[in-house]
Amino acid sequence: MSSIPQEKPRIGITLGDLNGIGTEVIIKALADSRLLSILTPVVYGSTRVLSYYRKLMELEEFNYSHVKTKGQFFTKAVNVVNCWEDVIEINPGQPSKQSGKAALLCLRKAVEELKEGLIDAVVTGPIDKNTIHGEEFPYRGHTEYFNQEFNAGESLMLLTGKDLKVGLVTEHIPVKDIASNITRDRVELKIRLLELSMKKDFNISKPKIAVLGLNPHAGDEGLLGTEEQEIIKPVIAELKAKGKLIMGPFAADGFFASGQYTKYDAVLAMYHDQGLVGFKTLDFSSGVNFTAGLPIVRTSPDHGTGYAIAGKNQADENSMRQAIYLACDIVKNRIEATKSS
């Protein structure tokens, strides 16, 4: 796999579910021609789908080029790679197994070309886990799929925004299984992945990281649970003894409400909603989901398919735009980190 990008990073973008808002926010984000001066966008999907939404949104001035020869992209245009030949019915706002199949075809093609070094990063459009899930995609989401495809034993789901970065110890698992998945090894691994990502992907040489507790009031010295005393605090103590700037565990509610998060480069939450409720409340419109710890760069907007507003030209493209920009920045930062190491 090529690790040296062209003069401008080639950023792959998958449509996601074609009946959701993915295509709309991609078109809106790429309609800003200034992006073409810093990156080469490659959309994995269908020229027919883009044409449908372009007409629906009355954005006829939005232009793109169909990629006819594999890997031969136009550096000053929006490139589109057709990922299927069959005619798939487009019904905005209506989930279907067909749209789930199309989303998987986009994803597979992007991953194939990522492995071949034809693109330098991928931005994934939102998928519907119910329509894409099956024998060919037995995963809970994109993160698990990329872990498998790129042989990453573990990665880190990291939500990034203007002033806040939140990583997760556990991701898409039922609430009843969270506590049993909070172990010393897992907490330490996620802290290390978060610290490494801050250095390599965000160019922060000595990152300061806050760790949240699992229980209300961070366990209240063992009165409301023992995970903080037995698992989280010992891990933090060991890492601090090695000179790392790791603080906590903090009670999640007060940590976000009081603005303590502004004193840290990143935050590690114990479970999905603990981290994402705070993050999305504070930075929803420009938030980006980044999978740290992978050998490749993958980002995504931090929203779902948005079926309720699909096809109505109401979707905000800022999160998609920021996901594209972040992918571009991380590609460049990783090159600089490689040069300086």
3-state secondary structure 133-193: CECCECCCCHHHHHHHHCCCCCCEEEEECCCCEEEECCCCCCHHHCHHHCCHHHHHHHHHH
Yes or no: say if 103 and 90 are a contact pair by the CB < 8 Å rule.
no
pLDDT tier at 6 (50, 70, 90 boundaries)?
A: low
Task: Please give the CATH number for the structural domain made up of 156-289.
Answer: 3.40.718.10
| Average per-residue pLDDT for the chain | 93
Yes or no: say if 231 and 191 are a contact pair by the CB < 8 Å rule.
no
pLDDT tier at 5 (50, 70, 90 boundaries)?
A: very low
Assess whether pLDDT exceeds 60 at residue 3.
no
Radius of gyration (Cα) for the chain, nearest Å? 20
User: Residues of CATH 3.40.718.10 domain(s) within the chain?
Assistant: 1-152+294-341, 156-289
Q: Is 45 helix (H, G, I), strand (E, B) or coil?
A: strand
Average pLDDT over residues 189-210: 97
**Distance separating alpha carbons of residues 301 and 321, to the nearest angstrom:** 8
Any residues with CB less than 8 A from the CB of 193 and at least 6 apart, and which? 154, 155, 156, 167, 292, 293
- Long-range CB contacts for residues 138-145, cutoff 8 Å, separation at least 24: 140/171, 140/172, 141/171, 141/172, 142/107, 142/291, 142/298, 142/300, 143/171, 143/172, 143/291, 144/172, 145/107
pLDDT digits (tens, 9 = 90+) for 265-313: 999 999 999 999 999 888 877 899 999 999 999 999 989 999 999 999 9
Yes or no: say if 82 and 66 are a contact pair by the CB < 8 Å rule.
yes
Using the structure block, give the residue that is written with the tokens 């172990």: 183
pLDDT > 90 fraction of the chain, expressed in percent and rounded: 84
pLDDT tier at 181 (50, 70, 90 boundaries)?
A: very high
Yes or no: say if 188 and 320 are a contact pair by the CB < 8 Å rule.
no
Give the architecture-level CATH label for domain 1-152+294-341: 3-Layer(aba) Sandwich (3.40)
